[in-house]
Chain A
Amino acid sequence: MSLRWTALSASVQGASHEHRGQGNQDAVRLKNPSGAEDVLILAIADGHGSARSFRSDRGSALAAECALRELRRFIRQLGPDAPLSRVRNRAVHRWPKALVTAWKSAVRADLAARPFSQMEFAAFPEPPPVVKPGEELPVSAYLAYGATLITVAITRRYILYSQLGDGDILTVQADGVVSRPLPKRHEFQANQTVSLCSHHAHAEFQIRVDALRGPVPALIMLSTDGYANCFGDDKDFFKVGGDFLSYLRSEGAAFVGEKLETWLRQSSHDGSGDDITVGLAARANAFPSSVRFG
Chain B
Amino acid sequence: MASRPLHFIWLADGSGSMRVEGKIQALNHAIREAIPHMRAAAQDNPHAAVFVNAIRFADEARWMGEKLTPVSEFRWQDIEAGGATAMGEALAMVGEALQPPLMTDRALPPVLALVTDGLPTDDFQAGLNHLLSKPWGRQALRIVVAIGEDSASNEAQEIFRAFMGNDALRPFHANNPEALAEQIRWVATVVLQSVSSPAGQTPDQVAGISAAGWTASLPLLTGMHAAGPDEADVW
Q: Do A and B bind each other?
A: yes
Q: Could you list which residues of chain A lie within 8 angstroms of chain B, going by C-beta atoms?
A: 14-17, 19-20, 22, 46, 48-53, 123-126, 139-140, 143, 146, 148, 165-166, 184, 186, 188-195, 197-200, 225-226, 228-233, 236, 267, 270-275
- The CA of A126 and the CA of B228, in the complex, are separated in Å by 11
Option from A14, A17, A191, A270 in Cβ contact (under 8 Å) with B217: A191
CA distance A52 to B208 in the complex (A): 11
Q: Which segment of B27-35, B59-67, B176-184, B218-226 sits at the interface?
A: B218-226
Given contacts A16-B197, A189-B136, list 13 more A-B pairs with CB under 8 A.
Answer: A15-B47, A19-B198, A20-B200, A49-B215, A51-B199, A51-B200, A140-B226, A143-B224, A165-B217, A189-B105, A191-B216, A193-B218, A195-B217
CA distance A165 to B224 in the complex (A): 18
Q: Given A139-B223, A272-B3 in contact, is the A52-B200 Cβ separation under 8 Å?
A: no
Q: A20-B200, A191-B109, A229-B106 are in contact. Are A198 and B220 (CB under 8 A)?
A: yes
B6 to chain A, nearest CB (A): 11
Chain B residues whose CB sits within 8 angstroms of the CB of A22 once the complex forms: 198-200
Contact, CB under 8 Å: A226 / B215: yes
How far in angstroms is the closest Cβ of chain B from A59? 11
User: A143 — which chain B residues lie within 8 A by C-beta?
Assistant: 206, 219, 221, 224
Q: Is the interface of B mostly helix, strand, loop or mixed?
A: loop
Cα-based distance from A261 to B219 in the complex (angstroms): 28
Q: A14-B215, A15-B47, A274-B215 are in contact. Are A49 and B220 (CB under 8 A)?
A: no
In whole angstroms, what is the CA distance A143 to B221 when docked? 9
CA distance A20 to B222 in the complex (A): 31
Does A125 lie within 8 Å of B227, measured CB to CB?
yes
What is the number of residues of chain B that contact chain A, defined by CB distance less than 8 Å?
Answer: 47
Bound-state CA distance A12–B216 (Å) is 16
Q: Is B205 an interface residue (CB 8 A)?
A: yes
Q: How far is the CA of A17 from the CA of B218 in the complex (A)?
A: 17
Determine the chain B residues whose CB is within 8 A of the CB of A188 once the complex forms: 220
Give which listed residue, A165, A197, A229, A270, contacts B4 with CB less than 8 A. Answer: A229
How many whole Å from A281's CB to the nearest CB in chain B?
Answer: 24
Counting chain A CB atoms within 10 Å of each CB, the highest count among B48, B197, B221 belongs to B221
Complex interface: chain B residues within 8 A of A184 (CB) = 105
Flag whether B36 is at the interface (Cβ < 8 A): no
B67–chain A nearest beta-carbon distance, Å: 17
Instruction: Say yes or no: A14-B207 contact (C-beta < 8 A), given A50-B217, A272-B215.
Output: no
Cβ 8 A contact of B139, one of A148, A189, A273: A189
B135 in the interface, Cβ–Cβ < 8 Å? Answer: yes
> Measured between C-beta atoms, what is the minimum distance from B30 to chain A in Å?
28
Take A16-B198, A50-B199, A270-B1 as given contacts and tell me if A124 and B218 are in contact as well, using a CB distance cutoff of 8 Å. no
| B206 engages A50 (CB within 8 Å) | yes
Question: CB distance A230 to B215 under 8 Å?
Answer: no
Least Cβ distance of A145 to chain B in Å?
11
Q: B219–A146 contact, CB under 8 A?
A: yes
| Residues on B with beta carbons closer than 8 Å to the beta carbon of A146 | 217, 219
Kindly report which residue of chain B lies nearest to residue A51, judged by CB atoms.
B204
Check B233–A48 contact: CB distance below 8 A.
no
A49 touches B109 (CB 8 A): no
Contacts A20-B200, A229-B4, A271-B47 given: A192-B229 contact, CB under 8 Å?
no
**CB-nearest residue of chain B to A231:** B2
Q: How far is the CA of A60 from the CA of B153 in the complex (A)?
A: 48
Report Cα–Cα, A190/B105, bound state, in Å.
7
